[in-house]
Amino acid sequence: MSSGNDLEVELHERSHEDDENDMTDDNVRKSLEFNPDHHQHNPVDQEQNEEVAHKKFIWLIGLRPDIKHRNMLVLILDACILMSVSIFVSAISHFLLETFLSVPKSEQSKVVGDLTFYTELILILFAWMFGVLSDKLGTRKPLIVVGCVVMSICVGCLPVAKTILVLTLIRIMFGVGASLSFGMLAASIADYTVTRDRGKSMAVFGVFVGVGSVLGLFVYLSIPNWLITLFNISDKQSGFITFSIMACIALSMAVANLLLLHRGIRKQTNSDTSIDGRQDDDVEERSFSTIFIDGFKCAVTIPDVLLSYCGMFVGRGDATIISTFVSLWVSQEMLADGFPESQGLTRAGIAAGCAQGFVLIASPFFGFVIDRFDRVLTLAAVSMLAGVGYMSVFFLPKITSNWSFLSLAIIGTGECGVFLVSATMGSQAAPKRSRGAIIGLSNVFGNVGVLFISKVGGYIYSFNPAYPFIMVGFLNLVLTGICVVVKFVSHFRSMQGAVGQQ
């Protein structure tokens, strides 16, 4: 009997603890809603308004009381492995088209462009929907698991596609799986960590995403050549084996997520209100439309959410410049100077690697900066830095000159800052029960940015290869201006409030 009473007491204490955490998140959210002073950094007040971390992940990141180290570890591995598989699928498209579909080289660029366009379009259509669905369910675990399974099936089916249409459909389904799994990771990071360490957690997340990019580009893409060298097999055989390995990797992450991710069920209290002030007894009673509309209402009432949307539009587009136009420009210029194609590709890889290397180096630094300084001013500073870096490309004598590495280093550092600050602002300012919808909408704005910069940048590139860089630099400077306006309005309202109290 005593053990039964102890169990009841323990369950009551856990329920009370969860209710307190939910009430704390709601109080923090309310304090952010156009509160003129919410950007003022006050460590004492912040400590009082946050839940106490019972444990630290890698001695840096405070975890919520019910989160285990293994839950956070598998989430970080997801960021690395799922990104590496996604990068691999995008980067190996030329090999797939030439080896399995025999598409002429003159047509490969168009097909790859179409594949990228349709994939991003699907992400735009589904990213917010999956975010709303995760809020409706109250858990993100099943979406991540299902997404990994879909990615595994699609990767395994890629080499058996016999037509461009079938290949496109498989890539679209792969995009749906990636949106289900990878799209939920940022929201899960916010669910797992305490508010005061949100910047450091996003920085660690960004580091492992960068490691995944390097893993996909420099390890996974080399597997076909390794297989050919070791076993003296054909290109098609090495391709089948490579895609099978990638499918197994994605499937292994599905199993790991099923076993190790936190169940994610969140209890609600009467104090957890929606944006319009309406109280709900249970999160499951809210309709899809209500959760979706909350995502837009937050952009109107919470400045950090608005800046997060704008920052993701610019930040995700920044990555497109590095992965697409830097490599293309360097390769073309090397060929024009009489160098063989292999050397052009090598130099292009070094140039893109320079920018990505500074992304990895800058991520831990920005993780600490985000948690200690005003995030609006930080976003203004990093977007200005990125803008200066992009604009400086126009003044380079040649993109292959040594001075280009300085510009690329500035671009990589600024790009990293814009992405991390924007993602952190959105995940922290978002009300807990609408977090999935808000982060889903952030991903939508990011995907729209990728499409916009890819299409417009590709068009103006034909006039001058530097024009896409100038365009993105201008967008970064516009973001800087938006941050200054938000800060000025906050300061003006603060002065008005002080006068009113007198």
pLDDT, averaged across the chain:
76
Q: Give the span between the Cα atoms of 205 and 224, in whole angstroms.
A: 29
pLDDT of residue 292: 66
Task: Say if CB 360 and CB 211 are below 8 A apart.
Answer: yes
pLDDT of residue 255: 95
246 pLDDT more than 90: yes
Which H or E run contains 443? helix 435-461
Higher pLDDT, 278 or 261: 261
144 pLDDT more than 50: yes
- CA distances to 339, 355, 400, 404, 487 from 346, rounded to whole Å, are 11, 15, 12, 15, 44
Chain position carrying tokens 């080399």: 222
Q: Is 321 left (phi over 0), alpha (psi -120 to 50) or beta?
A: alpha
Written in H, E and C, the secondary structure of 241-257 is HHHHHHHHHHHHHHHHH
Q: Which of 101-105, 303-307, 386-390, 446-450 reaches the highest mean pLDDT?
A: 386-390
- Return the C-alpha torsion angle 249, 253, 254, 256, nearest 10: 140
pLDDT of residue 501: 65
Average confidence (pLDDT) over 177-204: 80
According to CATH, where is 1.20.1250.20 located in the chain? 68-265, 301-497
pLDDT of residue 153: 97
Chain position carrying tokens 């799994």: 181
Which H or E run contains 57? strand 55-57
Higher pLDDT, 490 or 220: 220
Phi, psi of 55 (to 5 degrees): -155, 160
pLDDT of residue 7: 40
Cα atoms found within 13 Å of the Cα of residue 24, Cβ hemisphere only: 19
Lowest mean pLDDT among 78-82, 283-287, 356-360: 283-287
Predicted structure pTM score: 0.68
Handedness of CA 426, 431, 432, 438 (dihedral sign): negative
- Contact residues for 300 (Cβ-Cβ < 8 A; gap 6+): 306
pLDDT of residue 158: 94
- Contact residues for 23 (Cβ-Cβ < 8 A; gap 6+): 269, 271, 272
The tokens describing 277, both together, are 């002030």
* DSSP codes of every residue in 210-231: HHHHHHHHHTGGGHHHHHHHHH
Lowest mean pLDDT among 25-29, 144-148, 270-274, 369-373: 270-274
Task: Say if CB 56 and CB 192 are below 8 A apart.
Answer: no
pLDDT tens by residue, 373-386: 888 888 999 999 99
Residue 46 binned pLDDT confidence (cut-offs 50, 70, 90) = very low
Higher pLDDT, 181 or 166: 166
Average confidence (pLDDT) over 17-45: 43
pLDDT of residue 344: 65
pLDDT tens by residue, 117-136: 777 787 777 776 777 777 77
pLDDT of residue 498: 65
SS3 61: strand
Q: Which residues pair with 56 in a beta bridge?
A: 62
Cα atoms found within 13 Å of the Cα of residue 69, Cβ hemisphere only: 7
CA gyration radius, the chain: 24
pLDDT tens by residue, 402-432: 888 888 889 888 888 888 888 888 777 767 6
Q: What is the DSSP letter of 53?
A: P
Query: What percentage of residues in the chain have a pLDDT greater than 90?
Result: 18
Average confidence (pLDDT) over 162-166: 92
The tokens describing 108, both together, are 């490969």
Query: What percentage of residues in the chain have a pLDDT greater than 70?
Result: 76
Residue 291 binned pLDDT confidence (cut-offs 50, 70, 90) = low
pLDDT of residue 15: 45
Q: Give the span between the Cα atoms of 158 and 176, in whole angstroms.
A: 15
pLDDT tens by residue, 313-333: 888 776 777 766 777 778 778
The CATH superfamily assigned to 68-265 is: MFS general substrate transporter like domains (1.20.1250.20)
Q: Domain 301-497 is of which CATH architecture?
A: Up-down Bundle (1.20)
